[in-house]
Amino acid sequence: MDLTLSPDEEAFRDELRTWLETHHPGEEPKGDEEEAFAFRREWQTKLHEAGWAGVSWPKEYGGRGASLIEQAIYSAEMVRARAPSPANVLGLAMGGPTVIGHGTEEQKERFIQPILSGEEIWCQGFSEPDSGSDLASLKTKAVKDNGDWVVTGQKVWTTFAHHSKWCMLVARTDPDVPKHKGLTYFLMDMEQDAVQVRPLRQITGQAEFNELFLEEARIPDENVIGGVGNGWMVAITTLMNERSGLAFGAMAQVRRDLNDLIEVARENGLDEDPVTRQRIAQLHMEVEALRINAYRGLTGIMKTGQPGPEGSLGKWAWSDINQSLTEAAMEIRGHEAPIIDEAWTYRFLRARANSIEGGTTEILRNIIAERVLGMPKLR
């Protein structure tokens, strides 16, 4: 075991840290959503110009070709500096890697560059009102018509749809084969009348998510990714990239938030309170276990090329931790905790989605039971 960074990795970290010190854009404007998004777009342009967008992408596609460890360092440093998210989170974490993995040369040529620059924002059209955890049962259908695909259906939980140019859309192209086999992965232009976006207000009050209504939307055949009927396999790539791409940032975020929580405990005079101390200690242990398991998983991926069981546990552990951490913050703030507050209200309410988005905890437990422990399937 050796948890030290190599000189190259240290240099990577120091270069990023120094760059962030001089280029950090300050805090994201609160309140006006449009203004906040414009701010994040500008931030992404800055990142891109300095070569700090898409660090995990291969160099030939405009990325930095960063190693897994450098990606982990990158996420941790961004959180440490409290840097805002770039505007095109889904394009960077999921869209780009999916096009790079499954796209044709023409598609790479067309789509990659504007993702990095933030010129074209991406969203993800997977979930539907009747197809959440059972994603493969989705009903949005695509029918071939004169070289185009004509798509009709409804998508939900579509983050940033209202800002997006492209949607990673999974639709049913063959209703007569088993459900996983009849799906196709498309890149759909959002700028057409047949695509209606309706903001979906969350319990936080914000509308980061949307509903998408598709009424004979048109997609040219050249925007199929990975071949007709292979949509499930391509979608899995997107979801795997989501899980691993966001893991190290999420891990660094709970560590930072735990430090904030300890400060709140001190401010409220509860740092000597035995119950509070036990709770903080438990959170510290769980955050540490998450961090160490992420590095164990990373070592496993470097060795075998495959994510190990630690990976599937990580997202579940993170959502549990973030929920109990924000609950602890409310308890520590006591009587005044329900008063809307810039630091904690959003975090507390937003955390409820953690155990649902990107695979519910129940589905993750099924995956762990069936694929890691080899337990019999219910279905």
Partner 1 sequence: MNFDFTDDQRTIKSTAKEFLAARFKADKLRELAEGGEYDSAIWDEMRELGWAGIFIDEEFEGQGLGVVELAILMEEMGYALAPSPFFSNAAAGLLIQHAGSEDQKRKWLPGIASGEQPGTVGEIKNGSAPLVSDAEDAALIVLFDCDRASVVERSAADVQKVDTIDSTRRFASVSAEGGEPLEGDVQAGLDRIATALSAELTGLAQRTMEMAVDYAKERKQFERPIGAYQAVSHRCAQMLMEVESARALTYFAAYAADAEPEELSLAASAAKAYASDAGWRVSASALQVHGGIGFTWEHDLHFFLKRAKTDGHLFGTARQHRDRVADLAMARTAAATA
Q: Which residues of 50-89 are buried (b: 16+ CB within 10 A; e: fewer)?
A: eebbbbbbeeebbbbebbebbbbbbbbbbbeeebbebbbb
Residues 227-286 close enough to bind partner 1 by CB under 8 A: 259, 262-263, 265-266, 271, 274, 277-278, 280-282, 284-286
Q: Is 292 in the site for partner 1 (CB under 8 A)?
A: yes
Task: Choose the binding region for partner 1 from 12-20, 28-36, 239-247, 288-296 (rule: CB under 8 A).
Answer: 288-296
Dist. CA 214–CA 197, nearest whole Å:
9
- The smaller minimum CB distance to partner 1, of residues 168 and 321, is found at 321
Dist. CA 127–CA 158, nearest whole Å:
8
Please enumerate in sequence order all residues whose Cβ is within 8 A of that of 208, keeping only pairs 6 or more positions apart, or say none.
159, 160, 202
- The smaller minimum CB distance to partner 1, of residues 155 and 255, is found at 255
Dist. CA 54–CA 113, nearest whole Å:
10
Residue type, 149: W
342 phi-psi bin (left φ>0, alpha ψ -120 to 50, beta other): alpha
Element (H, E) at 235: helix 231-267
The contact pattern for partner 1, residues 68-87, with x = CB under 8 A and - = no contact, is -x------------------
Q: Which residues of 307-317 are buried (b: 16+ CB within 10 A; e: fewer)?
A: bbbbbbbbbbb
Q: Is 377 in the site for partner 1 (CB under 8 A)?
A: yes
Q: Is 295 in the site for partner 1 (CB under 8 A)?
A: yes
Task: Choose the binding region for partner 1 from 91-99, 150-158, 183-191, 303-311 (rule: CB under 8 A).
Answer: 303-311
Residues 346-375 close enough to bind partner 1 by CB under 8 A: 362, 364-366, 368-370, 372-375
Please give the structure tokens belonging to residue 6: 């190599």
Please give the structure tokens belonging to residue 360: 């519910």
Q: Is 317 in the site for partner 1 (CB under 8 A)?
A: yes
Three-class secondary structure of residue 13 per DSSP: helix
Which of these is catalytic: 128, 242, 286, 310?
A: 242
Q: Is 310 in the site for partner 1 (CB under 8 A)?
A: yes
Residue type, 374: G
Is 242 annotated in the active site? yes
Residues 48-67 close enough to bind partner 1 by CB under 8 A: none
- Residue pointed to by tokens 């010129």: 119
Task: Choose the binding region for partner 1 from 41-49, 97-105, 185-193, 308-316 (rule: CB under 8 A).
Answer: 308-316
Nearest to 318 by CA among 264, 276, 259, 258: 258
**Phi, psi (rounded to 5 degrees) for 29:** -65, 135
- The smaller minimum CB distance to partner 1, of residues 140 and 293, is found at 293
The contact pattern for partner 1, residues 10-49, with x = CB under 8 A and - = no contact, is ----------------------------------------
Q: Is 316 in the site for partner 1 (CB under 8 A)?
A: yes
- The smaller minimum CB distance to partner 1, of residues 6 and 192, is found at 6
- The smaller minimum CB distance to partner 1, of residues 154 and 354, is found at 354
Question: Cα 14 vs. chain centroid, distance in angstroms?
Answer: 26
- The smaller minimum CB distance to partner 1, of residues 1 and 340, is found at 1
Task: Choose the binding region for partner 1 from 147-155, 216-224, 311-319, 327-335 (rule: CB under 8 A).
Answer: 311-319
**Phi, psi (rounded to 5 degrees) for 128:** -130, 165
**Phi, psi (rounded to 5 degrees) for 347:** -60, -45
The binding site for partner 1 (CB under 8 A) comprises: 1-6, 9, 69, 259, 262-263, 265-266, 271, 274, 277-278, 280-282, 284-286, 288-290, 292-293, 295-296, 298-300, 302-303, 309-310, 313, 316-317, 362, 364-366, 368-370, 372-378
Task: Give the residue numbers annotated as catalytic, written as ranges.
Answer: 242
